[in-house]
Amino acid sequence: MAAVTETTIHPAFEKLRSHRIGTLNLEVEEYRHKKTGARHLHLAADNDENVFFVALRTFPMDSTGVAHILEHTALCGSERYPVRDPFFMMIRRSLNTFMNAFTSSDWTAYPFASMNRKDFDNLLQVYLDSVFFSRLDPLDFAQEGHRLEFDKPDDPKSDLVYKGVVYNEMKGAMSAPTSQLWQNLTSHLFPTTTYHFNSGGEPDHIVDLSYDDLVKFYKHHYHPSNAIFATYGNIPAREHHEKFEELALKRFDRLDIELPVRDEKRLFAPIRVEQGYAVSEGEDTANKTHIVMGWLLGHSFDLQENLEGQLLSAVLLENSASPLMRALETTDIGHAPSPMCGLEDSNREMTFVCGIEG
């Protein structure tokens, strides 16, 4: 694999570091866009399957699902591609090996992969234009977010009901007791930060989101100064930089974006919370109790603390011979260990959870 020299670095970027990982047969290269501050991590490998994603820090401070709805709406047409759903058109017509978009509690990412160079370049154009120059049509917001429709479309005298892709998706997701339990637990573990809220959206709160709120969130978060690009494969970093600069970055200046996620405050004593959840009419409520306990731990990005958390979780819960798992499986106060048992390390600070159900 050829070494990256100063003459092969695109003038719009500066190289920060590189590191060889022999066991994976790849070179990790980190760059920064001089004008906007956007970062690029390139995993140079002798592999024809090239991968791209752009991720942005998205910190919603309510449960309207603004980040989730924006992820959907951003893919519904852009400046260069002002057509209905270019994303889904490319899914049908592209040679991609992977293509999706994700919303997490504190980030949103748009990844794809392809083994065909022309197809990769086409997808890159669609993705960069959708992320940084999205149309955000109000009608797309109504389709993806929420709108009012007649319960019976051909009967204007029928009741008005809420509809929407994300609204309907989250109604289904939040109907599961374990989803409600997790959201309730994290809202008390994280009382003051973005993790207190449901980034996917609570159905009762999604309908409070306005189109203007969506546009404001987009303008504040979807900027190269708040973005990180990552690529993998045998396309050199410089060629990626040429595309990034030409298709998007040259049109932006650096923006000072304040999006802090601070450590959560610690409690002086345990708190106890009891909350009910809905069941179907006439459904038996026996053996439907969930009892869980959660502890806030250290930083997930601290490799030492993360390793300690993973090791502790494995020792306590990995199988039926593990002491905590054995206690949960044999206790008389429940029927089975909670599916939430284990270490959650996707947030800034890790959470360890154990409990029973039944």
pLDDT tens readout for residues 187-229: 999 999 999 999 999 999 999 999 999 999 999 999 999 999 9
Q: Is residue 140 part of a domain?
A: yes
156, 99: one domain? yes
CB atoms within 10 A of CB 154: 6
Task: Specify the pLDDT at position 86.
Answer: 81
Task: Specify the pLDDT at position 258.
Answer: 79
61, 144: one domain? yes
Three-state SS at 17: strand
Rounded to two decimals, the pTM is 0.91
Residues involved in catalysis: 71
35, 130: one domain? yes
CB atoms within 10 A of CB 276: 7
pLDDT digits (tens, 9 = 90+) for 220-242: 999 999 999 999 999 999 999 99
Q: What count of residues does the chain have?
A: 358
193, 319: one domain? no
11, 105: one domain? yes
DSSP 180-244: HHHHHHHHHH-SSSGGGS-TT--HHHHTT--HHHHHHHHHHHSSGGGEEEEEEESS-HHHHHHHH
149, 218: one domain? yes
CATH number of domain containing 290: 3.30.830.10
In contact, 19 and 27? CB cutoff 8 Å: yes
Which of 235, 263, 291 is the last residue in one of the domains? 263
346, 200: one domain? no
Q: Is residue 252 part of a domain?
A: yes
144, 286: one domain? no
Which of 263, 291, 321 is the last residue in one of the domains? 263
Nearest CA among 144, 140, 165 for reference residue 84 = 140
pLDDT exceeds cutoff 70 at 4: no
pLDDT digits (tens, 9 = 90+) for 129-167: 999 999 999 999 999 999 999 998 899 989 999 999 999
In contact, 145 and 167? CB cutoff 8 Å: yes
Q: Answer with the residue of higher pLDDT: 36 or 152.
A: 36
* Domain span at 133: 1-263
pLDDT exceeds cutoff 80 at 2: no
In contact, 337 and 325? CB cutoff 8 Å: yes
- Work out how many domains the chain is built from and give that number: 2
**351-354-356 Cα angle (round to 5):** 150
Which of 263, 287, 321 is the last residue in one of the domains? 263
CA dist 245 and 233 (Å) reads: 19
